[in-house]
């Protein structure tokens, strides 16, 4: 089909691996990206993975799946607002909402059970074999293992477009040892993929030094993620009475005195049951979205539209977002309600990884009920075997990890 949006070129549409499409294919390449993410095994598994509150504590909390859907909704709203209001865009030259939606839906595909604490534990345990990083794992899923039955770039993945891969790559340093804190990196074997995304040696080298090189779609996805998790984690915390008005007032007074009176007073009314939480959240999300503008990039890293624009969030909205995010970290993520089940879940995740690791290293026999994943059995290289072990453990839902751990202890 002929797509008239001149913001993108055939280079953006090019896929990593050949797509076999019907002659009457009616979807754009980015719509295919989105649809393949939604129908993937990895996406379905997000329904059983912790966002913040370990799954099973309550039936109302966000999981990684519902979080990803909310990120996609915010991402689409940002794109629609910018396309309709920015003088830098027009009906024939605009940001593609399907591309941004695909990036938002895919951004957490690689996250393991038990949220970010689970990610940190796997990174620690995988250290001898290159570490573990959620963003790198999302890339690995899209390019290698999205269907869960085949592996190899261009074979087992979803044959993603160049623009989609660039849209999820928040971090582009290759190698855990090349980072300052051992986080936010790509795996060594993903060097080739990063080079394919850029097709520019200078960008590869700049990325390796830590320079943030992101397309406009990646910037939108990242902001949508910040907006979605900040508001939804707060929403769930309030619903479960993790916060009290007194706690929050003390936090504002001692830790964040610069918070605006309007935000402070509105949240106080919510905590006292005098204003609906849903209306409060809808209000701040709407304010933040309509506070975003596009700004031209004076010297873009690539001379293409995707790199010619960047986002600017107006200061009042930025301050509100920072205030609520700080509140979440101080009073929700560090609360006993979150940390106690999280700690137990991380211990289970670690025990499963250690079991598979020790089997691979010949330190213990295979448990009858916990066979090695097929990819591990078929490989002989230890590093590749351990990457497949990590794929297996990281891909588990919280409940499945709990079930396997019970078998391990039986």
Residue 111 has pLDDT above 90, yes or no: yes
Q: How many domains does the chain have?
A: 3
- Determine what percent of the chain is predicted with pLDDT higher than 90: 86
Whole-model pTM? 0.95
Does residue 163 sit within a domain? Answer: yes
Q: What confidence score (pLDDT) does residue 30 get?
A: 97
Other beta carbons within 10 Å of 56: 14
Out of 152, 187, 208, a domain closes at: 208
Q: What confidence score (pLDDT) does residue 147 get?
A: 55
pLDDT bin (cut points 50, 70, 90) of residue 150 is: very low
Residue 270 CA, distance from chain mean position:
29
**Cα 95 from Cα 395, distance rounded (Å):** 32
Q: What confidence score (pLDDT) does residue 148 get?
A: 47
Claim to verify: residue 158 and residue 303 sit in the same structural domain: no
Q: Tens of pLDDT along 182-238?
A: 999 999 999 999 999 999 999 999 999 999 999 999 999 999 999 999 999 999 999
Q: What confidence score (pLDDT) does residue 2 get?
A: 52
The tokens 């984690």 sit on which residue? 233
**Cα 321 from Cα 18, distance rounded (Å):** 41
- If we measure between CA atoms, which residue out of 120, 148, 135 comes closest to residue 36? 148
First to last CA, the chain: 57
Domain boundaries, position 121: 10-208
Q: Report the pLDDT averaged over residues 151-164.
A: 76
Q: What confidence score (pLDDT) does residue 55 get?
A: 73
Out of 283, 307, 336, a domain closes at: 336
291 burial class (0-12, 13-18, 19+ CB within 10 angstroms)?
middle
Claim to verify: residue 351 and residue 324 sit in the same structural domain: no
Claim to verify: residue 47 and residue 158 sit in the same structural domain: yes
Q: Is the four-CA dihedral 285, 116, 387, 186 of positive or negative sign? A: positive
Q: Which run of H or of E encompasses 309?
A: strand 309-313
State the number of CA atoms in the 13 A half-sphere of 72 facing the CB.
Answer: 20
Q: What confidence score (pLDDT) does residue 146 get?
A: 61
Q: What confidence score (pLDDT) does residue 170 get?
A: 95
- If we measure between CA atoms, which residue out of 100, 78, 90 comes closest to residue 291? 78
Q: What confidence score (pLDDT) does residue 377 get?
A: 85
């Amino acid at each position: 089909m002929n797509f008239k949006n001149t913001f993108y070129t055939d280079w953006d549409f090019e896929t990593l691996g050949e797509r076999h499409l019907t002659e009457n294919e009616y979807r754009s390449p980015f719509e295919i990206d989105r649809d393949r993410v939604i129908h993937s095994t990895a996406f379905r598994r997000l329904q059983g993975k912790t966002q913040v509150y370990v799954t099973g504590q309550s039936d109302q909390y966000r999981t990684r799946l519902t979080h990803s859907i909310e990120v996609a909704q915010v991402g689409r709203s940002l794109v629609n607002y910018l396309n309709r209001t920015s003088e830098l865009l027009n009906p024939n030259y605009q940001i593609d909402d399907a591309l941004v939606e695909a990036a938002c839906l895919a951004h957490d595909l690689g996250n393991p059970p038990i949220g970010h604490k689970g990610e940190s534990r796997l990174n620690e345990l995988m250290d001898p074999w290159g570490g573990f990083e959620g963003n790198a794992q999302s890339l690995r899923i899209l390019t290698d293992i999205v269907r869960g039955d085949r592996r190899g770039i261009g074979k087992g993945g979803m044959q993603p477009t160049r623009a989609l891969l660039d849209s999820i790559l928040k971090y582009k340093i290759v190698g855990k040892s090349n980072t300052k804190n051992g986080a936010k990196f790509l795996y060594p074997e993903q060097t080739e993929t990063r080079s394919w995304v850029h097709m520019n040696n200078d960008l590869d080298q700049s990325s390796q030094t830590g320079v943030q090189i992101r397309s406009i779609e990646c910037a939108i996805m990242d902001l949508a993620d910040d907006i979605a998790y900040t508001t939804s984690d707060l929403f769930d915390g309030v619903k479960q009475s993790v916060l009290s008005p007194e706690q929050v007032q003390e936090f504002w007074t001692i830790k964040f005195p610069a918070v605006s009176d309007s935000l402070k007073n509105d949240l106080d009314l919510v905590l006292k049951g005098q204003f609906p939480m849903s209306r409060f959240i809808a209000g701040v999300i709407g304010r933040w979205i309509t506070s975003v503008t596009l700004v031209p990039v004076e010297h873009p890293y690539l001379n293409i539209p995707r790199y010619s624009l960047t986002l600017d969030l107006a200061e009042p909205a930025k301050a509100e977002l920072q205030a609520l995010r700080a509140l979440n970290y101080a009073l929700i993520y560090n609360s006993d309600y979150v940390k106690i089940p999280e700690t137990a879940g991380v211990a289970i995740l670690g025990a499963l990884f250690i079991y598979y690791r020790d089997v691979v290293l010949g330190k213990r026999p295979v448990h009858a009920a916990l066979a090695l994943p097929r990819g591990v059995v078929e490989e002989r290289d230890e590093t590749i075997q351990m990457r497949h072990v990590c794929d297996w453990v990281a891909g588990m839902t919280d409940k499945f990890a709990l079930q396997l751990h019970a078998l391990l202890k039986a």
